Every structure is written in structure tokens, then in C-alpha cells.
């Protein structure tokens, strides 16, 4: 095994796309680590994804289900993902989990009805109110020098550390601090 260096029968080893070979216990450990750390998902070797089909064969049933769901979520562009608007839930709603009825989808985790258009709690009888709320949020972001991820549009605030940002969606970008001085807009990297 490439990872633990134990001698294992060749029939028990999985060969990754980069030709490294792993035993089932190391694959389980790699998949568990990937599930705990979004930056490391999906499990990779030499920057190449280890096939999900091979990983799920050695996982526990609980981790198998979690891994497949995370893999499906990561394969949908971030801007197209729908998350439960309830703060206590906030989980991803898989597209195939519920069908759209009357403009809403049901969160499979907490059973909340979620508007398919705006992602807020379902609001039959009035239009989506996100436009004015988005404008207010973007103004607040501008006032506080927050930035939006160019991949998923999630708002990010730099608190400390270097100017290299890794969003929750995995996209990497540089924090740019904008300073207004005497009516002129100056763009500075960092603070």
C-alpha cells in the first residue's frame, strides 16, 4: 500500500488514476478525511480524483451515503445549488430528492417548503422579495469591505491571515480591499 506500506494482496489494492495503490483501510481513512474537510473533497491522489465507485465499496453504509451526497452536491455548479433557508437546517437540497410543486421544493431534512426561485421559505401569494434584500445586503457588504466569491457569489469577510481566500465552495481568489480617498477609488491588495 502506498500510504501505510503494508504488504497486501494485489487483489485487495485499489489503483488510483495516478497508478498509486491503496489498501481498503487507507481508502476508508482517505474518504473519512475528505468528508470532514471540504477542502480535501473529493478524495484525491496526486491531484486526481479517486473514483467514487471504488471508494464507496470499502466505506461503512453511513459514510457511503454521506460521500455520495457530497459528491452529487459538488457536481452541481454552486450558483445552481439550493440550500434550506432555515438556520437550524441550512443543508443542501438535492434536485432529485423532491419534485417541484407549485413553485416550491420540500427540504428532505426538516420538511420546510422552499421557494424554487429565490431559495427563501415558500411564499404563496406574493412575489419573491429577494431583490430588495439582495441590494441591501450588497450595500452592507460594500460598506464593510466584504467580497463575493466569483464562483458561488457567497459573501466573504477577511478577518486575519494572508490575502488568499478559499471559499466554502473551494474556489480560490485574492482579497482586494477598496479604499475611497478624496473621491478617488483606490484598489489595494489586503489591508
Report the C-alpha gap between 55 and 14 in whole angstroms: 9
Q: How confident is the model at residue 132, as a pLDDT?
A: 66
- Asked if residue 169 lies in contact with residue 156, where contact means CB atoms within 8 angstroms, the answer is no
- The distance from CA 167 to its chain's CA centroid, rounded to whole angstroms, is 8
Is the pTM higher than 0.75? The answer reads no
One pLDDT digit (tens) per residue for the chain, 191 residues: 999 999 989 899 999 999 999 999 999 999 999 999 888 899 999 999 999 988 999 999 999 999 998 999 888 887 788 888 888 888 888 887 666 666 788 888 898 888 877 778 887 666 665 556 667 777 788 788 788 776 777 778 877 778 888 877 777 877 775 544 444 444 444 44
Q: Which residue has the cell 437540497?
A: 93
Q: What does each C-alpha distance from 70 to 103, 116, 161, 184 come to in angstroms?
A: 25, 21, 28, 45
Amino acid at each position: 500500500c502506498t500510504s501505510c506500506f503494508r504488504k497486501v494482496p494485489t487483489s485487495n489494492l485499489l489503483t488510483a488514476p495516478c497508478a498509486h495503490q491503496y489498501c481498503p483501510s487507507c481508502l476508508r481513512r482517505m474518504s473519512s478525511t475528505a468528508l470532514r474537510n471540504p477542502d480535501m473533497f473529493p478524495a484525491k491522489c496526486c491531484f486526481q480524483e479517486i473514483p467514487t465507485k471504488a471508494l464507496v465499496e470499502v466505506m461503512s453504509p453511513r459514510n457511503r451515503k454521506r460521500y455520495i451526497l457530497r459528491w452529487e452536491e459538488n457536481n452541481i455548479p454552486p450558483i445552481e445549488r439550493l440550500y434550506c433557508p432555515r438556520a437550524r437546517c441550512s443543508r443542501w437540497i438535492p434536485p432529485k430528492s423532491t419534485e417541484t410543486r407549485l413553485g416550491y421544493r420540500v427540504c428532505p431534512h426538516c420538511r420546510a417548503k422552499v421557494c424554487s426561485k429565490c431559495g427563501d421559505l415558500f411564499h404563496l401569494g406574493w412575489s419573491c422579495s429577494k431583490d430588495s434584500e439582495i441590494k441591501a445586503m450588497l450595500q452592507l457588504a460594500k460598506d464593510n469591505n466584504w467580497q463575493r466569491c466569483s464562483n458561488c457569489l457567497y459573501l466573504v469577510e477577511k478577518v486575519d491571515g494572508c490575502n488568499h481566500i478559499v471559499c466554502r465552495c473551494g474556489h480560490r481568489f485574492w482579497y482586494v480591499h477598496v479604499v475611497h480617498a478624496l473621491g478617488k477609488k483606490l484598489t489595494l491588495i489586503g489591508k
